[in-house]
Structure formats: C-alpha cells, structure tokens
Structure 1
Amino acid sequence: MIRPRPLRAALLAASALALLTAFPGAVRAQDAAMVVPPLQYTHRELSNGLDVYAMPDPTAGTVTVQVWYDVGGKDDPEGRSGFAHLFEHILSRKTVNIPYGQISTWVENAGGSRNASTGQDFTNYYETVPPEYLETMLWTHAERMARPVVDQAVFEAERSIVKEELRQRVYAPPYGRLGVFVIGDNSFDESIYRRSVIGSIEQLDAATIDDARAFHEAYYRPATATLIVSGNFDPAQLDRWVDQYFAGIPNPERPVPVFQRPTAAPRTQPRDVVSYAPNVPLPAVGRIWPGVEATHPDAAALDVLQGILSRGQNSRLYQRLVYVDQVATSASFGANTMEEDGVVSGTVIVAQGKSLEQAEASYDAVIAEIRTNPVTQAELDEAKVEIISSELRQRETASGRAFILGQALVSEGDANAPDARLAAIQAVTVDDVLRVARTYLRDDAVVRVRYLDESQRPEGVPEDSWRNPAPVPTFVSVPPAILPPNELLPEGRRMAPPAPGAARVAATPAVAERTLPNGLRVIVAKSTDLPIMNAQLIIGGGASGDPEGRMGLASATAALAREGAGGRTAPQIAASLESLGASIGAGANPDVTTVSLSAPVASLDRATPIFADVVLRPDFPAAELERLRTRSLNGLRVALRDPATLAAATLNRVVFAGAPYGAPSSGTAESLSAMTRDDVAAHHARWWRPDNAALVITGGMDPEAAFAFAEAAFGDWARPAAALPVIGDRAGQATAPRVLVVDMPGAGQAAVAVAVRGPDRSDADWYPASVANAVIGGGSGGHLFNEVRAKRGLSYGAYSSLVTRVDGSLFAAQTQTKNESAAEVVELVLSEVDRLTGEAMTDQAATDRESFVLGGFSRSIETTGGLGGFIGDTVALGLPLSELQTYPERMRAVDPAAVSSVAGRWLGRERAYVVVVGDAAQFLEPLRAAHPDLVVIKAEDVDLNAADLGIE
C-alpha cells in the first residue's frame, strides 16, 4: 500500500488554506482539502431593466457573452407548444444590420463558438470568443434584442429545421419518445410545465409568422433579459460598451403577458401508462413522482438522494438492478427542479431475456428500501463528495462559471444560489434523506410507465395511449404585434460591427517530461489553479490488435480492469473511488487503450493505489466477464437500432473492409460471446507494459508533485523481456467506393454517412486537409451546414470531421434527415466532397477557416481534460510534444493553393463511400436513379463480423 507522503499532505493542506483565505465564502467538503471557490461577480441594473453580471478572469484565454431571457417553454401560447424554442432559432439568424446566418459566420471566423438553448424557464444565447471580439459580440446581442428581423423566409427555414431537430432527437433514437413524450407528458398534470419544450410537428405546422412577431413583442425586452460576461476583459471597458449598446434600448409599454397559474390538485392515485414505439430493441420501465421547485428547502436533500440512488457504479440502483440482479442495462433516478415546480423520475432499460416484471420489482424494492430505512453515513458522505467534485469541474472555465450563474438566476432568481446550494448540500443529514424519500416517493402519487416495441401493441390500442388523462391547461394567448416588422437594410446602409480590439494572447501551458527507469513516459502540464487533476495512461495497440474472431477484446480488457483489481472487488473499487470524488475510466479506440484517473488533488493519495492496481494488477474475475458480456450485448442491441450509430459502424466496415480498422472496436454479438478470460489476460500481458505506454498528467498539480504521483503509482511496473508487439497495415488497401443502403423500416429519420480516405497525420498534406475539412463541414460555417440546413432546412445539422489515426485519416461527413429527403441530402453531401476539387479558395476564406480550427484548439486546451486529450493524441500518433506550441503556427501557414492541391489529391465523389440507414421505401427509388449500382441490405442482416458485411 502507498502511504501519503508527509510533504504531499502538507502541500494539500497549504493549497486548501490558500483557497479558503483567498475566497472567504468557499465551500469545503468533508475532505478538508476539497474546496470550491465561490462564484465571483459584480452586478448592476440598467435603467431599462437589463441586469448585467461581470465575471472577470484575466487568466482566461477567451471571453463568454451570454444573454438569458426570462421566457421559455412554459410561456408557449395556446396551441403553439414548442414556440419559445422555435423563436430561439429565429432570433439567432437576422437583424436590421446583420444578414441571415452572419452571426455564426463572424463568431466562427473569429475562432469562437456560439449556440442557444431553450428550457421551460428560459431561453439563452451565448458565444465564447477570443477576448478581442467582446465588443463585437455585445453589439450582436444588442442587435438581436432591439432590431431583429422576423420575416417569412427566416420563419419557414427555422420551422423546417426545428422539425428535423425533433425527428433527430425524438423520433430517430429508440428511446427518444419515452423521455420527451411519454415521461414528459406524464410528469405534470395541470401545470404550466405540462407541454414539451420542443413541441409537436402539428403545432409547429400550425404556427404563423404573425405568431412569431407577437411572441417577440410580448416577451423579448431588456427587462426580461440578463447579460453575463465572463472571462478575460476589462470591467470598466465592459461597462462603457454595455451603456453604449444596451442602455438606449427601450422596453415596450405593453406589459409582459401573465399566464394565470392553474391550481393543480395533488396526485393521490397511482397511474399506469403503457406506450409503444417503432424500433424499441429492449423494453423500458419508468417511474414518475411530483417534485419541488429549485428554491424549495428540500431541493438539496433530493439532490443528495439522487446521488445515493443513481450517481456512479456504487449507487443503489446500479448495484441492485445492473450489477446484482442483472435485470437492467441501465437504471436512473433524477430530481429535476425548475423555477416553479419539479419532477422526480427514473427509467430502466430492461436487459435482454429479463421481464418487465423483474425490472419493476427490483426498482420498486430499491425505492421501498430507501423510504423505509436510513441511508448509511458513508453513502451520505459519498454523495456529497461526488457533488462537490463535480462542481469543481464545472467551475474550471469562465464559460462554465457563467452557465452556473445563469441557470441560478433563471431558476432561483439569486446569483448566490449556487454557493448556497453547496452549503445546503453539506448540511443534509441522514434523517433529511429519509424524510424526503418518504415525502416524495409515495406509492399513491406515482406514475408507472411501460415502453414497448410497436409490434407488441394490441389491436385497438391507440397510438397516443401514453397521453396523460389530466386536462391540459388553457395557456395564454399572446396579443397581436403592433410594431411594424423590421427589414434587413440594403448593404450600403447597414451599420458595420465593431472591429476587434487588441489581442489578449493566453500562454500555452508548459509541458515537462521524464521517462521512468521501466520505460514509462511521464508528461506533465499544469492547466489550472483549482485542486483537481487528470491522469491519462495511453497504451499502444488498441482495438487494431484484437485477434481474429475476438473483436472488442481491447475494449473488454480496459473495461474489466476496473471491475476487480489488487484483491478489491468491483463494488469495493466503485465505493472507494466515489467516496473520494474520483473516477477511473477505461476504453480502447482503434489505435490505443486509455485508462484515466480524474480526482480532486486532495483525494490523490488514496486514489493512487486503486489506479495502480487497476493498471498493474487486474483480477479479471470470471463473473465480471459474464456481467460485462451481458451488458455489452444489451448495449449493442440498443445502439444498432439507432440509424446514426448503425450508419457509422457500417461505413467503417465499408471503408476498411477486412483491415484491422474495419473491425468494430466494441465488438459484435458473436465476438463478445466467444471471448474468454484467458483471452483478456493474454491481451493485458501482451500490450499493457510500461515501455508501450505514456502517462499524461494535467490539472492543478505542479510538475514535481505530478512526477511523484507517477513514480508512486507506476515506479514498480516491471518491463517484460519480450519484444514489443507490432501491428501491420491497420488501414489496408483502399477498396472500391460504393453506395450502401441499410433498410430500417419505421426509422424516424434517415442517417447519411459519407467518407473519403485522407493523409497520414505526419504527412505534409494533413494541415491543409484539416482546413479543407473545416471548409466542407466544420461548424455552421461549413458548406454542408449551409447547403443542407441553412438553405434547405433538410436537417438539424450537417458536419464533417477529419478522423485521424496512426495509419491515415478519414474525411467523414454525417447528417440526418427525414426519410423522404435522404436521396437529395446524399447528392448535396457528394457535391460538397467534390466542390473543393474545382473551386478556387480565397485567402480570406482560408484565414477564416484556420481561425475556426484554431479556436476549437484554444478552447479545448482551456480545460484539464481537453489539454490532456490533445497531448494524449500527440503521443498516440507519434508526434513530438512541441506540437502543442507549433500546431497554431503550422495551421496558420496553410494557404489556399495548398488546400486546393490537397483536395485534388484526396477528395472527389469518385472516391467516396456512402451509407444510408433509414426507411428505404421512402427514398430508395430516387437514390437508385442517381446510383444504379447501390446495394440494399436489411438492418437485421448487417454482419459487422464480415469484411463484406454479409452481402452476397
């Protein structure tokens, strides 16, 4: 056993004392050294009612600008469910001075990112950009607040996109309808939260542009908005810009419509709901109880109760349903609090071969037990530590802190609520947990849900059998708009956005490296002053080393390593880690296996021996292999009924055929069934060795402390005498391009996946190839997004990526669309794969796309995990560690000629592999007209074991 070093313990204590001294309001966990610094902000209110919160952080490499409006799904007008969400899309697009889609273009060209979201209580719009673009972002938010353009073109385009979003998120996934419709509709009875935020196709179709204009005038104004700026900026300059751009925006004279809240009688009788949907591979069970609003005194105890029941592998539901009884592939429990109400719910995906009744009995037994007997002090402490540890991670970036603050303001109306919540959680007692379990998890108030495949629907049972029988309230009708609609000004009359200011360059973290005597590389980069750390052990080989007939072996070995090691059982490992606020993850991709430790620095001395045992001394118990096999088979059964997942797996096989990269890393039903413990132990002995590994440590540790941790964990890891194993050609020879259709009748959407082989990471072509990929499908500024979503509304999103591996890379494009437009979308994607081969690129376009790529890089290395991931990738791909510093300059050096040259060598539709998964009856005829040689295979006949997918 590794004992805490006195010096190390002293360092931890000093670190905790420094944090408490610097932040008097800091929250300290049970572990004296695990301290959460409080949110730091200033607040002022403009005369028009706009609230402004500033959260300066001069060490940040970015600045985040967010506007939260006090309008959400609960404010949707009568007969217009989903309208707040639809308007979120509309307001992001066009103003008097900004053409359609230009905001996204400006943000991406600046190297930033932007998005928006809608909840029941709020709609928010946010960007994260380099600090010099702060004024530009403030101006765009003022434009949207004061001068939006809501015209027919914008309205029609965004409504079409929202409908595709609904299909993608709700209709296509096997359990999408369960969460959004079935559980959603039955979570509340006569309540302002009764309707789903995303709405319905029918009510979206019924909406008009007049509705949109009326909605804007009713709810969007300075007095319903909160501006949050967080990151690297000058607070005094921010005040001047806020006054300049926002202070003159008037509030409408008409009051905000107020919906008379219905008085709902408490539920006193249980209700049973049975629902059916297409492509449900395994039945599911749900439980729903009434909850509480975010400001309720019981909210903290319910949060702790949620942790005890459902957070991590040591939780009661996982242990009982997934681990011991093995009646479920997953089991959840959550307490969702909102501004005016809340809901407590749980779901179970039933394991193959188990009955609904078995799953229900196990779930209900866990709930009955926690209502009857007090939880243990250890369970209580563990839940609190997990919550504190999670909060530390969320507060790591300026953007993360802004979101915490914004959510608290809209749900609780109190900027101090996040810190008060942590203090309240620390005060929760064993008696509190028992009390809230008895108060809220009542049998007389529960809704019991069963979710089954459409094939099991009895004759005569209607499609909407899941609907809540309680009457839906009559919602407010918004008065008509009275202001004349805005129009985009002619180009010569538009106000130009503010020019960027002086750049504030953030320093790239310094990297230190040592090699232990056993050959293990240790790489350290300090990335934060918060007391958290990440360690990633990168082991060469990965799934490409899986033997014939044993696909998924590398992944299984990684997964099993933490399910029993050093004499500790899987439950003991889970309990020990979760009590420390730590976690160990493990998995394999085609090139490497990764075992990672994430922990508060205060917990490291106790987490280190467990991490070392998982890597060096896994027991690989036979019983755990059987559990893993069962869970994996159930997981495959679910995943391969999702069109997008099946399309990706099939495309991988089409591109790489029988080469190592062609085999699915997670295995197949056949390979998992054949796998033995001896296979797993042999794989571990062959590949898991110090001279085939590198340990990457990031977070709040100084290099010397990190190197000491590495030595303590892996200094005694013996290097085998045998030579390192070698994998041959992982990618194999390129096969002939083809178009393959996978027929999945009843699929809620069609998934389209297209790929073209690309250059090696070490090839000079890789950097221009990365820029070419950004042009084709990088973010909302990519051609794919513009052609498929923005211009035609055929998808919620269309993107591409440059998937880089040890042997080569892959231009991979993916999107989803309604089945009837699949053929059109395939042609659009292929046209973009072709476009750069014959279209010249301007210097400005190259610069813009390079900024987009580099912005993603900069944001990723702001986080402990992101920095570790980038360094880990350089190790896996055999690149020098100097790549962290040279990557930006090499990307900036790419010119349009290099992009065109790379496109000519690598791209073109004649090199493309195409897979479409969906209801083929709705798109096969037009697709075949364009591609007469396409091949069709039924979804149930796809054989991922075979190089040819089992196609005769």
Structure 2
Amino acid sequence: MIRPALSRTLAVGCSVLALNLGLGLGLAAPALAQQSSARLEALTPPPLEYAHRTLGNGLNVYSMPDPTAGTVTIQVWYDVGGKDDPQGRSGFAHLFEHILSRKTVNLPYGMISTMVENAGGTRNASTSQDFTNYYETVPPQYLEQMLWTHAERMARPVVDQAVFEAERSIVKEELRQNVLAPPYGRFGRFVIGDNSFDDSIYRRSVIGSIEELDSAQLPDALAFHEAYYRPATATLIVSGNFDPAQLDRWVDQYFTDIDNPGRPVPRFARRPVEPRTAPRSVVAYAPNVPLPAIAAIYQGVADASPDTAALEVMSAVMSRGESSRLYKALVYEKQLAASAFLSAQGQEEAGSIVAQVTVAQGKAVEDAEVALNLELDRIRNEPITATELAEAQTEILASDLRQRETSSGRAFILGRVLIAQNDPKAADERIAAIKAVTIADVQRVARTYLNENARVSARYLDQSQAPAGTPAFDEQTGWRNPAPMPAFLTVPPAILPPNELLPEGQRQAAPTPGAARPMAAPVIAERTLSNGLRVIVARSTDLPIMNAQLVVNGGAAGDPADRPGLASMTAALATQGAGGRTAPEIASTLEALGANIGGGAGADSTSLFVSAPTASADAVGAVLADVVQRPTFEAAEVERSRTRAVNALRVALRQPGPIASQVLARVAYGDAAYGAPSGGTIASLGALTRDEIVASHQRWWRPDNAALIITGNMTAEEGFAFAEKTLGSWAKPSGAVPTTPTRAGAPLPPRVIVVDLPGSGQAAVTAAVPGPRRGDPTFYPLSVAGAVIGGGQNGHLFQEVRAKRGLSYGAYASVAARRDGGLLTATTQTKNESASEVVDLVLAELDRLVTEPVTETAVKDRETFLTGGFSRGIETTGGLGGFIADAVTYGLPLDESTAYAGKIEATTPESLQAVARSTLGAERAYVVVVGESSLFVDQLRAKHPDLVVIPSSQLDLGSAGLGVQ
C-alpha cells in the first residue's frame, strides 16, 4: 500500500471537548477573541505519553501503555522510503514493503498474515517517500507473538527469486488498480507528482513504474535490503493494553541480539532545492477521464518548517468542510466544480502545495481556472476573518483529538513525527503552533508560497479531446517536468549470504499467546417516545463525546421503479437548508462546534448522524431537529445536489469496479427493488422534482418509522433526555406507516455479462450467488463460508489469485446484509489479459466448498477472523452506533452486539458444508466482468458461450435489461 506524504488531513470522527463551544455570533472583536481562545483551550488534547529507550544495536523503542484499550498495536517504522530508491529502480522501497511481509527463515510464505488473522487481528504496511512501516492490531494476549514476527522480519527475512517475482507481480497489479484504473489516478500520481518537485529527491513516484520494476533483478533486491534495513534505521512503537515491564523483557529477548551491519547506510549529498522562478503550463490526455481536472502546483516546505502550522490553517480555510472558500465559491455558489481542494503537504526534506479542481459537467475549464485564480488571489491579498481563523483552528484540533482517541491512532501520530522531524515532542508542539497562528501569519504564508512565478498550471483531459496524432498517456511528453531528473545512488552489491526457509522440523516456533483478557460489553437501554420514536442508548466511553444516528426504515428499496436515487437525494438535501438556516449556515454552525453531520440511503434504510462533544449536545441537537423535521428543499439546492450527484456518477461510471458492482445488482435482482442503483442514474436524477423529494420525506421520515441510536458518554437517562429535547416534538402523521415492495424478488437464472470499457487500466471481476436475509440463522455459517472463500489474506481467493499467481492486488468475498435476500459476492481486479483466467479461479472457489470439507481448525480460524473484526468495529462510539443501527434496520434483537460472536462461533464444519451445498456453486453464479473486452472476451466466451457484451456507452442501469436490445 502506498501511503501519501504526511498529510495533515485526518479522519472524520468524534471530537473531545470540555465545554460548550458557542459560535460567538454578533460578539465584539475582544469578546470573540476571548471566546476563541477558550474554545481552543478546550480542544487542546493531552500530550502523547510514551517511554523511550534505544538498544545497543540502534533500535529505538517507544512504549505507549493504555490499560483501558481492548487491543495492542505493534508498529515498526523504517527510515527508508521512495526517496532512497536506487537509480533506475524506482518503486523498490514499496516493493520491499511487500517482500518483508511474506517469508522468513522460520515462517513460510504468507504465514505472518495467517497468524494475525487467526488471532482475530489485522495487519498492513505502507510506504511513503520518507518511510516504510509495518503494523498489526491484535488482542493483547498476542503481543509477544507479534514482536517475534517483527524480529523475524528484521533479522531473518527470506528474499529469494520466488518471493521477488511474486511480489513484483502484485505491485504491478496495485499500480494498475490504484493508478491506471481510476479516472484521476494518473493525474495525481504522475502529472502532479512529476511537476511538484524539480531537482528534489521526491520527484519520482513511490510506486515506481512497470518498466523499472520489470528491469529489476534479484541481486538488486538483495543489495537494497542489505543497504537500508537494519535495527539502526528502525523504530518500534507499541501502544495499547500491555505491561511495560513485560514489554521491555520481550524486546530484550527478541531484538537485542540482532546485529546492526558495519557498513554505513548509503547516503548522497542533497542538491539544494532551487526556488522555481518561472511559471509553466502542462496539458495531459488520458483514457476514461469523465470530467476535466485542473491543478495549481507550488513549492512548499518541509514538515519541520516554522511555517507549517500557518500553511495548515490556510489549507483548512481554503478547503476543509462545506464552509471552506473553495467549496463555497467553486462547488456551491458558481457550480463550476464537482470538487475543489487545496492541500499543503510537508515531508521530511521538502513539501508541495496543490490546489486541484474537478470541473463540473458542461462547464468550461477556462471558467474554473478563473474562479480558482480569484480564490488564490483573495487568500494572498485579503486577510482572512477572525471567524475563519477560529473555525479552521477548531477543525484541525478536533481532527487531532479524534485520532488520539485510540491507542493505534496515537501510535501513528508518534511514528509520523519521528520520521518527519526526528522529534517525539513535535506532535504536541504542532498543537501549540496551530493555536498560535494569526490572521497575519496566514496571509504571509499565502503570499510567500502561493507564488505565481513558481506555479505549474496543469490540465487533465480525456484522450478524445487530444489533437490528432497525440500519443497515448505513457508516451506523451507534454505534461512531463522539463527539469532533469536527479541522479540517484546505485547501492553496493550485497555481500551477506541470503537467508533460506528452514526445513519444517528445524524452524523455531512462534511464542504461544497469553491469557485472554475479557472485554466489557456496552450497556444498552431502550425507550419509545410518545410520538413513536424508538430511542436506544448505549454508553460506550468515558470520553466526553456522543454520536446520534437516526435510522429511517425504507431506504433505496422504497424508491419508485422509475426514480432510483430518490431516497439518497432526500437524505443529501436534508442537510442543505433547514429550519431557517441555509446550507452554508448549517455547515458553519456545526464546524464551529467541532461537530460533523452526514448520512445517506442504503438498500433498506436511510440514516442521518451527528457526532459532537457531549457539552455541545444541545446546540448540535437543535440543528439535528431542524434537519430531520424542517428541511426546506429549496429549488436552488435541489439543482445543486442534482448536479453534484450526476457529476459523481459520471466519475464512478468510468471505473471498472463501481460499474461491476451496479451491474451485478441488476443481474442478480432484475427489476426488484434491490436491483436499482441506490444512488440513481443520470436519467433518474435528472427527472426528480422537488415535489417528489418533499413527498418522499413526508412519507418515510416520521417518528414511528424511525429509531434514534445514541452512543458515547451519555447515561441512559441523559440520552433519553437528549432524544426528548431534540425530537420529542416531532409530530406523528395520522396515516399508516409505509411499507416497501418485495425487495429481493424471485431468484433469477445465472448470467455472464461483460461491459466493454475501452482504455480501462484493469478489468474488474465480480461473481455472486443468492444468499439469505440478515435475520436468517443461515447467515452466520454462510458468513464463515464467505470468510473461508475470501475473508482477508487467508481466504482461498486471496491465496489463489494474489499469493500464488500475482494476478491481483487483492481478491475477497463476503456476505451482504439485507433485510430480504442478500448475496455472497466475490470481487477482484486484474490486468485485462488475465480476466478470463481470474473468472475461472473465482468460480472454482464457489464450487470448492460444495465438495471439499473444511477442517475444524480452519473453521475456528475463520470464526476468529470474523469476530476479531467485529470487536474492533464496535470499539469506537461511531462503530457501535453503526452496528446497533444495522440491528434496527434488519430487525435483529439489540443483544446482537453481544450475541454475534457466539452465533458465528457456533458454526461447525458440518453446518458450513450444509449451507455451502444449499447456496454455493458456479452453476448458480452471476458473473460480471468490466474492462477492455477485446483483450479477454474470446477466451471467456469459449467457456461461457452465452455471455452478453454491453458497450459501456450503451449501458442502462435504470433498466433490468441493462440496455441490451
């Protein structure tokens, strides 16, 4: 996995505050400043707590104990990344991210992933220009075992021809999936990446190129590993529930004796980064670009720069949230853009600033460029307001608090600053710096770094718009940076003998897990208000945060057949003006409170959530009450939302994965409600009227057809009081509660559909068989069967498609939860030429469990995989609320949060095979392949002569027939 540069945009979640964050509307400047100061003090997180020591071999060890955590996270960060790739070998650090996860002297290929998943944990790794990291989150009793695996990878990895070739193939598929298949993958990774730096070590792409990966040989890999991977370039971070003294003993036992090589780490003198002194413009043409895109690219600063905090605040003012300048001006008011953002990315040695806009359908690129330039001029030439400054600071600090809620999040914060600044205090110092930013600071950095004499202006257009004779993207030169590419080191050859996997009887066994530690179950209480609203409260944390989620029965399944997308549009519009507040006023109010709001329509229900500090619950509840009961659905907002939804659809329907998912629903369900796309079609969204949206809200959004789920730091009585104050006055209509038509319909015969998507960088392959409704007892053994087939890296599909053959970056299967009949679906993406082979592999796995018994050990391992993922999912306030919302949607008892694990663990080899025989089988499967069909359709047709090919330009998702004549 490629990790981008150290982005300062963190995940959305719940913030932690200690007081009510008033908006300060109408206050005089001194009063507003005083209130802003108090607000920021309330948002200031407690400092990161850690202990540090350095072993004799140079390994740095940081421990961050948290006895309240239900898990422990183990991370190893290597100070080696894309900037260290040798000359002619771009992508090597990322390749080694894959290689060092696979095989050691004592662990056969893939065994690390097996151990983690069988422990009920999760693992991953990532690479940036500055670092490569490896991390697991597991139950605390597996800490010693995970430490041992990291020591194995550090001291005894096996880098042989088989591992090298397998991982190189997988990396190439990752590049195709994440860069070549998405419409804007080439723009971000290559066009913007190549033009963000001139003579800098950050110039090359971290993922490299297929050509340079293909030219590499095993001796190159051995030399790179020997040069850079050693204890002295590594940092071990352990965070979560553990005994610090015991951790020290295990670290001494497993890491102290690892030798640090005597040869120095290769380093080359950096050329000083020269400031760009002349602007330039580039144009790139690529396949399957549904909407034009533009970018303004500037030179930035290293992460440790004293200007980093002011640039972060400037970025927030420009593009964080719906009240930001770029969103309001380009997306909301002028409607010139489908999306618009500005990001200031700092890395260890340099940085970049990129403003990027996706131009809305039917709008001129030139007009979008003018609008973007106006906003760039405004941030340079006009001071931001005190309100903008306070809101930006609040949002940034609230985001940091959200990440610090978990032990894993705190470990990642620490790891990033250790790599970027080599200072564990930098994360807390950043908080103080953000609070100290002034209006003058923001204008100063805008004038300094948004320098038009150092700007690269980029346009990204569909290949069909290219002048005659323009070569394909990979051969174009017009967008490439004219500055010479820096020369990189060639590392010396390896001198140590390579490691080999020991024979089975000679391998050291992994440590056995310790005693399990019980986890406290949430206490759930329920009450029905006088208007019929079902209220469920689950106190889940001691942190002062809360999450309220409204679930309305119906969802997309209640849409009229000719109006798919109606429920989704209704949910989207509810937050775009309500109770006398305009859409921008709702956004500003909530963002100033450190709160979030969102929602949408799923197949069976519509949901709306707010996440906020408990001290701000009343103020946030007032907004929620208006959004639920008094949305205005103004005509202008209907048109704005329609345009945004259509633009998003245009982007999605130029990607093989999203197309395959939507076509599969039509193939499996036909004209039944589940077959229609929940987000609508371009035609259905265009036909929706305001009256239909108002009628949909009146029909479905009613208290006796809804439930409010409250999780976080509210007692049951506090939660019920919040519900009564917020939605107790919501009037119940006199008519009967609406019902939905048959959602799944009768099972349809299997079909094979190919959607031809010319220029697609990959083919998406998906196959499914009908499954039970979520409330059916067979859902649980079928979920275990799905995990055997394609759950995580130990699923059959991952092993057959990725691990053994290197045909995909990943291949998975799962059972979809539905109120009526669901699907067991397998999905993957591969290069177009391999699509037919991958279809064979997927169908073989759907057949395999019908005849091949699964051992009791394998069943238990897959049960642990599922229950471990479930336990991690409900650890957070939002995760628990989401699960309870699902229980409401699917008609499950509220004790499902405690009963789920037992129901999964009740699966036996016999019950698994019984459900497999009644459900699975290639002869029952719906198969959809989306890609450049000329490269695979003949091979596929030889085995599936009745397959139907549909050109993507003729695909009609609004019809059960998909547009086939």
Q: Report the TM range for the smaller structure's normalisation.
A: over 0.9
Partner of 2:430: 421
2:709 equivalent to 1:681? no
Query: Displacement, 1:258?
Result: 0.4
1-structure distance, mates of 2:762, 2:56: 49
SS in 2 for 1:333: strand
Partner of 1:79: 88
Which of residues 186, 200, 211 in structure 2 aligns to 1:202? 211
SS in 2 for 1:36: coil
Moved more, 272-281 or 30-39: 30-39
1-structure distance, mates of 2:282, 2:877: 44
2:821 equivalent to 1:812? no
1:74 is matched by which residue type in structure 2?
K
2:485 equivalent to 1:485? no
Partner of 1:365: 374
Partner of 2:163: 154
Partner of 2:589: 576
2:785 equivalent to 1:772? yes
Moved more, 773-782 or 606-615: 606-615
SS in 2 for 1:464: coil
1-structure distance, mates of 2:711, 2:301: 39
Query: Displacement, 1:35?
Result: 4.3
2:884 equivalent to 1:875? no
2-structure distance, mates of 1:811, 1:698: 31
1-structure distance, mates of 2:38, 2:431: 9
1-structure distance, mates of 2:854, 2:833: 33
Percent identity, aligned pairs only, is: 65
Partner of 2:684: 671
The TM-score, its normalising length taken from structure 1, stands at 0.97
2-structure distance, mates of 1:166, 1:194: 17
Question: Any unmatched runs of 5+ in structure 2?
Answer: 1-16, 23-35
2:401 equivalent to 1:392? yes
1-structure distance, mates of 2:273, 2:78: 27
Partner of 1:22: none
1-structure distance, mates of 2:221, 2:38: 48
1-structure distance, mates of 2:777, 2:57: 56
Which of residues 79, 89, 102 in structure 2 aligns to 1:93? 102
Partner of 2:809: 796
Query: Displacement, 1:144?
Result: 0.3
SS in 2 for 1:237: helix
Partner of 1:860: 873
Change (3 A) 1:38 1:369: same
Partner of 1:3: none
2:706 equivalent to 1:717? no
Partner of 2:118: 109
Matches within 5 A, 1:157-306: 157-306=166-315
Partner of 2:507: 494
Residues 191-215 of structure 1: CA deviation (Å, up to 9, x unaligned): 0100010000000001111111111
1:137 is matched by which residue type in structure 2?
M
Partner of 2:45: 36
2-structure distance, mates of 1:415, 1:719: 55
1-structure distance, mates of 2:246, 2:376: 54
Which of residues 844, 869, 876 in structure 2 aligns to 1:831? 844
Which of residues 568, 571, 583 in structure 2 aligns to 1:555? 568
1-structure distance, mates of 2:543, 2:443: 34
CA contact under 8 A between 1:29 and 1:35: conserved in structure 2? no
Matches within 5 A, 1:388-467: 388-462=397-471, 463-467=476-480
Query: Displacement, 1:461?
Result: 4.1
Query: Displacement, 1:171?
Result: 0.4
2-structure distance, mates of 1:224, 1:599: 40
SS in 1 for 2:882: helix
Partner of 1:614: 627
Which of residues 66, 78, 83 in structure 2 aligns to 1:69? 78
Query: Displacement, 1:147?
Result: 0.3
2:708 equivalent to 1:708? no
CA contact under 8 A between 1:392 and 1:530: conserved in structure 2? no
2:238 is matched by which residue type in structure 1?
V
1:776 is matched by which residue type in structure 2?
I
Partner of 1:637: 650
Query: Displacement, 1:548?
Result: 2.7
Residues 654-702 of structure 1: CA deviation (Å, up to 9, x unaligned): 1100000001000111111111111011011110011111111122333
Which of residues 923, 930, 933 in structure 2 aligns to 1:920? 933
Aligned residues: 932
2:318 is matched by which residue type in structure 1?
L
Q: Which of structure 1's runs of 4+ aligned residues deviate more than 6 A? A: none
Query: Displacement, 1:36?
Result: 1.8
Moved more, 175-184 or 603-612: 603-612
Which of residues 379, 384, 391 in structure 2 aligns to 1:382? 391
2:659 equivalent to 1:650? no
Query: Displacement, 1:123?
Result: 0.2
Query: Displacement, 1:632?
Result: 1.1
2-structure distance, mates of 1:705, 1:220: 54
Query: Displacement, 1:96?
Result: 0.3
1:568 is matched by which residue type in structure 2?
R
2:625 is matched by which residue type in structure 1?
A
Residues 85-125 of structure 1: CA deviation (Å, up to 9, x unaligned): 00110010000000000000010011000010000000000
Query: Displacement, 1:459?
Result: 3.3
SS in 1 for 2:910: helix
CA contact under 8 A between 1:56 and 1:231: conserved in structure 2? yes
CA contact under 8 A between 1:29 and 1:426: conserved in structure 2? no
Query: Displacement, 1:32?
Result: 5.2
CA contact under 8 A between 1:28 and 1:34: conserved in structure 2? no
CA contact under 8 A between 2:574 and 2:631: conserved in structure 1? yes
Partner of 1:906: 919
SS in 1 for 2:494: coil
SS in 2 for 1:332: strand
CA contact under 8 A between 2:300 and 2:351: conserved in structure 1? yes
1-structure distance, mates of 2:443, 2:128: 31
2:395 is matched by which residue type in structure 1?
E
Partner of 1:5: none
2:908 equivalent to 1:895? yes
2:335 is matched by which residue type in structure 1?
Q
CA contact under 8 A between 1:293 and 1:337: conserved in structure 2? yes
SS in 1 for 2:39: coil
2-structure distance, mates of 1:946, 1:228: 53
CA contact under 8 A between 1:81 and 1:199: conserved in structure 2? yes
2-structure distance, mates of 1:417, 1:695: 41
Moved more, 651-660 or 529-538: 529-538
2:374 is matched by which residue type in structure 1?
A
1-structure distance, mates of 2:905, 2:477: 55
1-structure distance, mates of 2:398, 2:254: 39
Query: Displacement, 1:719?
Result: 1.1
2-structure distance, mates of 1:157, 1:562: 48
2:912 is matched by which residue type in structure 1?
V
Moved more, 486-495 or 31-40: 31-40
1:854 is matched by which residue type in structure 2?
T
2-structure distance, mates of 1:141, 1:476: 28
Residues 751-804 of structure 1: CA deviation (Å, up to 9, x unaligned): 001111111222221110010000001000100000000000000000011111
SS in 2 for 1:323: helix
Partner of 1:349: 358
SS in 2 for 1:910: helix
Query: Displacement, 1:415?
Result: 1.2
Query: Displacement, 1:395?
Result: 1.3
Query: Displacement, 1:487?
Result: 0.2
CA contact under 8 A between 1:113 and 1:129: conserved in structure 2? yes
Residues 592-612 of structure 1: CA deviation (Å, up to 9, x unaligned): 000110112233222211111
1:503 is matched by which residue type in structure 2?
A
